[in-house]
Amino acid sequence: MIKRLLAIILIFVCASIAWAILGATVFSRTYDMDSRLKSSVERIWGAAQTQRSPNATYRISKTRKKISYVDKKKVVKLEKYWLTYTVPLVKSDIQSDLDLDYRQKGLLWYSTYKVNFKSSYQFKNPSSKGQYVEIFFPFPVASATYDNFKFFLRNKEWYSKSNSGNGVISGKIYAKPGEVLTVDVAYISNGLDRWNYQFGQGVSEIKNFSLVLNTNFSDIDFPDDSISPTNKIRTDKGWKLHWQYNNLISGVNIGMQLPQKLQPGPLAGQISFFAPVSLLFFIVVVIVITLIKRIDLHPMHIFFVSAAFFAFHLLLAYLVDHISIHLAFVISSIVSMLLVVSYLRIAIGKRFAFVEAAGAQLVYLVLFSYAFFFKGFTGLAVTIGAIVTLFVLMQMTARLNWSEVFSRKLNKEAAK
C-alpha cells in the first residue's frame, strides 16, 4: 500500500512539473509576442487616444532698448519682441461615440474602437483691443488617420490656417474686443484599449463644460486617474455618459477603459498552472472510491489517467491559436474524457468508468477549469468545490474501518 502511494505521489509530481512547463510555454508564447503584435495592431488600427482641449493665444509686439559697445562706444538699439497671452476657453460642448470592435492577433484579443468625435469650443478675446487670435487644436495621436475632419469657425472664415506637422492644426482670425469665437471640430478615427479627454496640463480651470460619451458596450470601466460622469443613462447598445461642469478646477481628466475580451493565451496558461489541483482532487476521490468498493487501483492506472488529463491542457493550449476559446475548451474536454473513460472501461469496469471516474473528471477537470472563464469567481468556485468534496468524502468514509482497510491492503501485498 505504501509503495503504491509513493508511486502515485511520484506520478503526481512529474505531472505537475509537466503542467508547469506547459503553462510557462503558453505565457511565453503569449507575452513574448505581445509587444510586436500590439505594435502591428497600432499601425493598422491606431493607438490609445487622448484628446486634449484646444488652446488659443494672441501676441503683442513690444520694443526695448538693447545696449552694446563697439570700439568702446555705447550703442543703443531698439529691439522688437513679442509677448504671448492666453485666450480663455469659455465653453466646451463635446460628443464622442465609441464603437468597440475586437481584433485578435496571436493568442490575444485587442480592444480596438472607432471614435466619432464632434465638438464646439468658444474662446473670448480678453483684450480691450482687437487682436489676431490663433487657435490650436491638437490631434489625439499624431500618426493616426482622421476621416471627415472639420476645423472651421462658425459664421466666419479663417484669416489663415496651417498644419504644423507635429500633430497640431491651427487657425488665425481677427477678434474684436470681447468677441467670442466659436470653433467646430469633428473627425472619425480609430484607437486601442483606452480613450481619454484631457483638460490641460496639471491643474486646470474648466468653464461651461459638457461632454457626452456614447458607447456600444455595457461593461464600462473608468481608469483610476479619471473623473466619474455626472450622469449615466442605459441605452439599447450600451451607455450614454454625461460630464457637465459650470466651473471646475481639476487635476484629473475624463477616461474610458475599453472592456477586455477573454484572452485565450493567458486563460490557457492559468488553467495549465491550476491542473495539479484538479488532478489531486480526482486522485483522492478515486482512491477513496476504490477503497470502499475494494477495486484494485494500480499506479499505472493513475499514470495513464494523468496523461489523459495532460492531453486536455496540451490540446487546449494549441487549439486556441486557431479556433475560439470556448470551442477549444469543449473539444479538449471531450477528448480527455473519452481517453479516461475508454481506458478505465477496459482496465477496471464499465460502471466505474462511466459513473465514478467520468463524474469526478467532469467536476474536477472540466468544471473547475471552466471556472476560470468567470473572472473574479474562480477562487470562490474552487473553494466551494473543495468544501463539497470534503463533505462528500467524510460522509462516504465515516463508517469505514481504516485499520481494516490498510490491514487488508498490507495482507494482500504480503500474499503476493
What average pLDDT does the structure give for the chain? 87
Share of the chain above pLDDT 90, in %: 50
Q: What is the pLDDT of residues 381-392, one digit of tens each?
A: 888 988 998 898
Cβ–Cβ contacts within 10 Å for residue 394, how many?
9
Q: Where are the domains of the chain?
A: 2-32+262-415, 50-257
Q: What is the pLDDT of residue 33?
A: 64
Residue 50 sits at the vertex; the CA angle it makes with 121 and 31, to the nearest 5 degrees, is 170
Q: What is the pLDDT of residues 41-79, one digit of tens each?
A: 777 787 889 999 999 999 988 787 777 777 777 777 777
pLDDT at 142 over 90: no
The answer to whether residues 46 and 144 touch, using CB atoms and an 8 Å cutoff, is yes
Q: What is the pLDDT of residues 86-128, one digit of tens each?
A: 999 999 999 999 999 888 776 778 889 999 999 999 999 999 9
pTM, rounded to two decimals: 0.72
Q: What is the pLDDT of residue 381?
A: 85
Q: What is the pLDDT of residues 327-372, one digit of tens each?
A: 999 999 999 999 999 999 999 999 999 999 999 999 999 999 998 8
Confidence at 202, pLDDT banded by 50, 70, 90: confident
Cell triple for 246: 459650470
Helix (H, G, I), strand (E, B) or coil at 23: helix
If one looks up domain 50-257 in CATH, what number appears? 2.60.40
CA–CA distance, 333 with 339 (Å, rounded to integer): 10
pLDDT at 308 over 70: yes
Q: What is the pLDDT of residue 36?
A: 67
Q: What is the mean pLDDT of residues 13-31?
A: 87
CA–CA distance, 210 with 49 (Å, rounded to integer): 19
